Amino acid sequence: MQREATNKITPWEVCDKIDYEKLVKEFGVTKIDKKLQDSLKGLHPILSRGVYFSHRDFDKWISNAEKGKKVSILTGRGPSAKLHIGHLIPYLAAKSLQDKFDCEVYIPISDDEKFFVKEGLKYEEAIKLSRDNILDLIALGFKPGKTFIFEDFVYTDIYRYAAKTAKRISYSTAKAVFGLKPENNVGWSFYPAMQAAHILFPQFHKGKHMTLVPVGIDQDPFIRVTRDIAEHSDFNFEKPAAIHAKFIPSLYGDAKMSCVDSLGLNVIFLDDDKKTVESKIKKYAFSGGKDTLQEHREKGGNPDIDISFQYLKMFFEPDDKKLQKIHDDYKSGKMLTSELKQILIQKVNDFLEEHQKKKKLAEKQIDKFILK
Amino acid sequence: MQREATNKITPWEVCDKIDYEKLVKEFGVTKIDKKLQDSLKGLHPILSRGVYFSHRDFDKWISNAEKGKKVSILTGRGPSAKLHIGHLIPYLAAKSLQDKFDCEVYIPISDDEKFFVKEGLKYEEAIKLSRDNILDLIALGFKPGKTFIFEDFVYTDIYRYAAKTAKRISYSTAKAVFGLKPENNVGWSFYPAMQAAHILFPQFHKGKHMTLVPVGIDQDPFIRVTRDIAEHSDFNFEKPAAIHAKFIPSLYGDAKMSCVDSLGLNVIFLDDDKKTVESKIKKYAFSGGKDTLQEHREKGGNPDIDISFQYLKMFFEPDDKKLQKIHDDYKSGKMLTSELKQILIQKVNDFLEEHQKKKKLAEKQIDKFILK
């Protein structure tokens, strides 16, 4: 199951337009077909509208969940200075599935990975980054008592589990799958084992059951390595399932949202104020509209490439009918780019106002979520 | 400072007769000269009689200790089924130096290393091995409150320190120094960082000071790697000092004592009973005596190759005058091999009787020593 990291999609370098059909083949994953997609109706738009394009055993996971078998969700976070909308994708998916199936959600915070990979990042800084991120995640509304957040540098018992997975991952596997280089530090060599321990953590913690891991396709190598060892007699676990999200473009429309530009103008941060949101969307959100008012009225806009429409579709307009109307009005030229943008600005600011309130409340809730 | 593991002396394979002069050159360490050796008078025979043959900065460590500067000693243990006399070498040295300088002693128990390196060793077994070893070490009489024992799988906070050292050790360094192979698991790749964290632990724990690490020369690569990173601005620590012990022969006189034969007949275990000790020494202790009584009386024995004499010299006869008399009597032929062996049997059994009593008492003391 080892593969050379010959294509561009390794976990540490992704910033380009992607041929998803090709990726499905290259990564040996399964496309989410119509039947599976249809079963996601009623969930958060991030799940119901095709952002997740491929999977491993997601059908089996859903089937287990629907039968009332124990299932869980695992979605980690490499802590960063602050979160933007794009970062929320797997958590919105996880929360929506938790709401539907009342299952446990596990969120490991890999302060260690950041520390190993970012040469200049000091240990104390890596620790600090985590806390703010954790508050943002709690603010999304995960269920206390069913949601477990842990940081590798705080919940150090994770080392016991990582040691167990480490014993079953050779350096050559780690190297081939993750593109490790000899000059990389040995923390980095070890991290694939830590990641596998994260993915298997729900089973270490609560016994054998199926865990779903929402990830970017670039993270699939972690899943594959973990699936390869899950059934080893050391563990006797279920292979984890996975769903793979498309790379969500930045406001500029040209790259993955995680490729934040130096001024942070191409993404909407969770702490952006109303004026900033308005300015960023007005100035930078790539438009599918025409160059002149007259031309737009005549020929209409292109919602498929319009970032404002895409953000409404993926994140902010759950009502299918309303979304369809926006789509049709924009496409026909009835709705102008400025009007479309205004809808998004309002939706984003409503969301952020609510989020920022909840984040303050999260300060008091944090102990209900954190494993120590 | 990297070197290819081209000679035979890597930490995981040592079982041969050794040219120490050559090793001093190869490893780039310093021979313990007469002046330094003379300063060890009055300490345990393991230190005062030349078992430790080379060092790094031991003179500086002693000088600091004598000036009343803070110093500490670190000597780890890879847990094993049970301890034998040969295992005690660094602990006897550490205890003797602790008695003299009233310094702290740190004993990390690397259950993780054993687990990574021994394919068949289960996690639960690795944990169990540690406890018995710890009781043996406490029984040696280390000072409570000044002696800290910790197991990597129990005191998992060590992962935080190991992460810090891991960031400063590249895989290529680890590979070159420790002879790692691509098929080795990533726990093994990470272990050099864990070992470095052990060696620097006294400084992580109590701030910058000089730590002495008594080791076999085969363990010196760990020291070297750790010395290379100790002064990095991430740490600003003192380079640790080291002393290197000769490989102590087994009863057979032909190999390092740690190369226990399958029946365990070539070593004296700490839980051997009196009969077993008597039988092992009588049957197996390599003799420097002559083939016949007459020849022995005429030509005398050779104490330099006689295991019983060597064990008395290194472990069991602290009185220089008594030892000299045994030496002279044996060399002259006045003392027979059977008489020499009887002296050793008595000494070993006295030691073990006392040790086994103390080990039982150690059960109640264990909490005073263990970091959790």
The interface predicted TM-score of the complex, written ipTM, equals 0.89
Read off the pLDDT of residues B24-68 as tens digits, 9 standing for 90 and up: 998 899 999 999 999 999 999 999 999 999 999 999 999 999 999
Nearest CA among B129, B60, B127, B73 for reference residue B102: B73
Tell whether A130 lies on the interface with B, counting CB pairs under 8 A.
no
Number of Cβ atoms within 10 Å of the Cβ of A12: 11
Residues of B in contact with A181 (CB under 8 A): 171
Tell whether B161 lies on the interface with A, counting CB pairs under 8 A.
no
Give me the mean pLDDT over the B224-236 stretch: 96
| Angle, in degrees to the nearest 10, between helices A171-178 and B186-206 | 100
pLDDT at A17: 58
Whether residues B189 and A184 touch (CB distance < 8 A) is answered with: no
Cα B198 vs. chain centroid, distance in angstroms? 15
Give start and end residues of each alpha helix (H) in B118-170: 123-139, 158-166
pTM of the model: 0.90
Strand, coil or helix: B27: helix
Higher-confidence residue of A299 and A263: namely A299
| Angle, in degrees to the nearest 10, between helices B186-206 and B220-230 | 60
Whether residues A187 and B163 touch (CB distance < 8 A) is answered with: yes
Whether residues A168 and B185 touch (CB distance < 8 A) is answered with: yes
The pLDDT-based confidence of A7 (bands split at 50, 70, 90) is very low
Whether residues B190 and A192 touch (CB distance < 8 A) is answered with: no
pLDDT at B258: 61
Give me the mean pLDDT over the B236-253 stretch: 91
- Dihedral over alpha carbons B303, B306, B309, B315 (to 10 degrees): 130
pLDDT at A255: 60
Read off the pLDDT of residues A206-253 as tens digits, 9 standing for 90 and up: 999 999 999 988 889 889 999 999 999 999 999 999 999 988 888 888
How does DSSP assign B183-239, residue by residue? TSBHHHHHHHHHHHHHHHHHHHHH-S-EEEEEEEGGGHHHHHHHHHHHTSTTT-PPP
Q: Is the pLDDT of residue B9 over 70?
A: no
Residues composing chain A: 372
B153, B172, B189: residue with CB nearest A190: B189
Instruction: Report which residue type is found at B255.
Output: A
User: Between A and B, how many residue pairs show a Cβ–Cβ distance under 8 A?
Assistant: 123
Q: Is the pLDDT of residue A312 over 80?
A: yes
> From residue A198, how far is each of A118, A203, B299, B346 by CA, in Å?
20, 10, 70, 55
pLDDT at A257: 60
Q: Is the pLDDT of residue B255 over 70?
A: no
Instruction: Report which residue type is found at A68.
Output: G
Tell whether B163 lies on the interface with A, counting CB pairs under 8 A.
yes
Domains parsed from chain A with CATH numbers = 9-246 (3.40.50.620), 274-362 (1.10.240.10)
B172, B186, B192: residue with CB nearest A183: B172
Least confident of A63-67, A316-320, B260-264, B313-317: B260-264
Block residue for tokens 């599935």: A97
Residues of A in contact with B171 (CB under 8 A): 171, 180-186, 188-189
pLDDT at B256: 61
